[in-house]
Amino acid sequence: MTATASAGETAGGPAGGTAGGTTLSRAVRVLEAFGPDRAALSVAEIARRSGVSMATTSRMVAELVRLGLLERGADRRVRAGSRLRELASRAAPAGLREAAAPFMEDLHAVVGHHVHLGVLEDARLLVVERLSAPDAVVDASRFGGRLPAHASSGGLVLLAHAPAEIRERVLAGRRERFTAATVTDPARLRALLADVRRGGFAFCRGHVHPRAAGIAAPVRDARGRVVAALTAVVPNDAGARAQVSALRVAARGVSRALGARPA
């Protein structure tokens, strides 16, 4: 089809070029014939759904079965193989926001109020994604906004796992007090960060606003580094603590979607 393709055909045999393009696009059409509600198909059904001829579909299915991307059952019906999903999830790990989005939606549907995702930038918490509800409790954070790391639950999680020099910079700098509960004393802040590291979450009642409680848990990447904090901001009442487990479970889910292995 292109000059490169023709050169390839000459150099490398009939595997690529026009034939390759056609083969790959047909393979994609064959795979697209499957879906959650049509998990098992006969070759005839695949041919009909994909618009690929029976002869070609038949060959294509045989080859995809050989590669493990499709599986053939005892009834001769064909299903997408688990190797297809493995290949895709290994080759295309989701980006941070993409990985977090479904977990944030689930968390928000259950916990309500505010759910956000933050990263550390200049020793502050930067909110990179946020879900809120109209009747939610007051929340000082804004999408794209920044909060001091020492005051917010997400900031504490990130600070707890940050390189020592960033932690020391925050401990040496000016630390704004928002409420009577904001931890600004260096010794108390150090102890709090150690607690957060040990416990695997931060739970802050009224550190930024007396009426709000922040709960945050770390999100790790494929190398195990803490790259973000998943936070819920809920009313500062007796029910707040009950959301800690949900935050921790969701943050582990986001980490997995980023390729992290469970600890």
Selected from 42, 44, 51, 88, the binder of its own copies by CB under 8 A is 88
Interactions with its own copies, residue window 230-259 (CB under 8 A): 241-246, 248-250, 252-253, 256, 258-259
d(CA 53, CA 234): 57
Interactions with its own copies, residue window 113-132 (CB under 8 A): none
**Does residue 45 interact with its own copies by CB under 8 A?**
no
| Residue 131 neighbours by CB under 8 Å, 6+ apart | 104, 105, 108, 114, 115, 116
d(CA 191, CA 196): 9
Selected from 42, 51, 97, 105, the binder of its own copies by CB under 8 A is 105
Nearer to its own copies, 37 or 75 (CB): 37
Shortest spacing between CB 156 and its own copies, in angstroms: 19
Selected from 87, 138, 140, 171, the binder of its own copies by CB under 8 A is 87
Shortest spacing between CB 69 and its own copies, in angstroms: 7
Selected from 42, 44, 51, 85, the binder of its own copies by CB under 8 A is 85
Other beta carbons less than 10 A from residue 66's beta carbon: 9
Shortest spacing between CB 89 and its own copies, in angstroms: 7
The partner residues of 38 in beta bridges, in order of sequence, read 35
Single out the segment in contact with its own copies by CB under 8 A; choices: 64-72, 117-125, 160-168, 175-183: 64-72
Shortest spacing between CB 70 and its own copies, in angstroms: 9
Q: What is the torsional sign of CA 230, 235, 237, 239?
A: negative
Interactions with its own copies, residue window 65-84 (CB under 8 A): 66-67, 69, 79-82, 84
Shortest spacing between CB 175 and its own copies, in angstroms: 31
Q: What is the torsional sign of CA 191, 193, 199, 201?
A: positive
**Does residue 32 interact with its own copies by CB under 8 A?**
yes
Shortest spacing between CB 247 and its own copies, in angstroms: 8
**Does residue 42 interact with its own copies by CB under 8 A?**
no
Binding mask 202-221 for its own copies (x = CB under 8 A): -------------------x
Please state whether beta strands 114-121 and 124-131 pair in parallel, antiparallel, or not at all (unpaired): antiparallel
Distance, first Cα to last Cα, the chain? 49
Cα angle at 41 between 40 and 45, to 5 degrees?
Answer: 160
Given strand 40-41, what is the order of strands in its sheet? Answer: 40-41, 78-80, 70-72
Contact predicate 20/2, CB 8 Å: no
Tokens of 232: 């819920």
d(CA 59, CA 69): 14
Shortest spacing between CB 239 and its own copies, in angstroms: 9
